[in-house]
Copies of this chain bind each other. A is one copy, B any other.
């Protein structure tokens, strides 16, 4: 699957870390040793290591070696925004029953209001999708998504009810590269109140973001309005001077 050499090295070392072969605090073999072992130059090893460093797995220490700082997380909250976990996966992990209700599915054109909020160009043709996410029959998330039709053609309400990402990746062979997210607390809108049981929560946590594909095209704008007690947002930040 991985065609680039640095990528297969990256995958191999990551597996050694997540499988527990190297634990928190351990030092990896030296770059020179890896270079020999993988039959490549030190530069190529360093590239793989730099990705792992950027992902928070490793901490290189000048003159000493490269240390593992990855630890298995202790998950408590239901929804972990920030990872790559989808709604369905999250629900499954918690042994609940997932359901998705499509509230709206339209084709629209971006006007300047939409453009300003989402980053799409004025006049761009978009799919506009509203969905309600239910867990064990309780509405917990209200999603609004917009997809650039030229990049994600062929979307249907049926796909929206199942998994849009599976369609994009498996059918359209699209790969996602950069995404931006913002989390804010907002007062619920009438629509929020109509859809979700927010009786004791006078706020919703709003996660909005843009997603770019590997062509560098902004193709998705997404906004998820969460019941505040169920969401958890995680981040790993690295001073990336490597």
Contact = CB atoms under 8 A, between A and B. Distances in A.
Interface in A172-224: 175-185, 200-203, 205, 212, 214-216, 218
A4 B61 CA distance: 17
Contacts of A4: 241
Given A59-B214, A183-B235, 16 more contacts: A51-B241, A54-B54, A59-B178, A59-B212, A59-B216, A69-B178, A77-B184, A82-B237, A84-B237, A179-B238, A180-B235, A182-B235, A183-B183, A183-B234, A185-B203, A203-B203
19 contacts: A24-B119, A53-B178, A54-B54, A69-B216, A82-B237, A178-B237, A178-B238, A179-B238, A180-B234, A180-B235, A180-B236, A181-B236, A181-B237, A183-B183, A183-B232, A184-B231, A185-B203, A203-B228, A233-B233
Contacts of A184: 77, 231-233
A119 B24 CA distance: 9
Nearest to A200: B202
Contacts of A53: 178
B235 A177 contact: no
A105 B37 CA distance: 50
A235 B238 contact: no
A177 B234 CA distance: 17
Interface string A83-123: 01000000000000000000000000000000000010000
Nearest to A73: B182
Copy count, this protein chain: 2
A71 B119 CA distance: 9
A175 B233 contact: no
A237 B239 CA distance: 14
B231 A179 contact: no
A238 B240 CA distance: 13
Interface centre among A178, A202, A234 (most CB of B within 10 A): A178
A185 B212 contact: no
A175 B215 CA distance: 35
A157 interface: no
Contacts of A239: 175-178
A16 interface: no
Contacts of A201: 202-203
A231 B67 contact: no
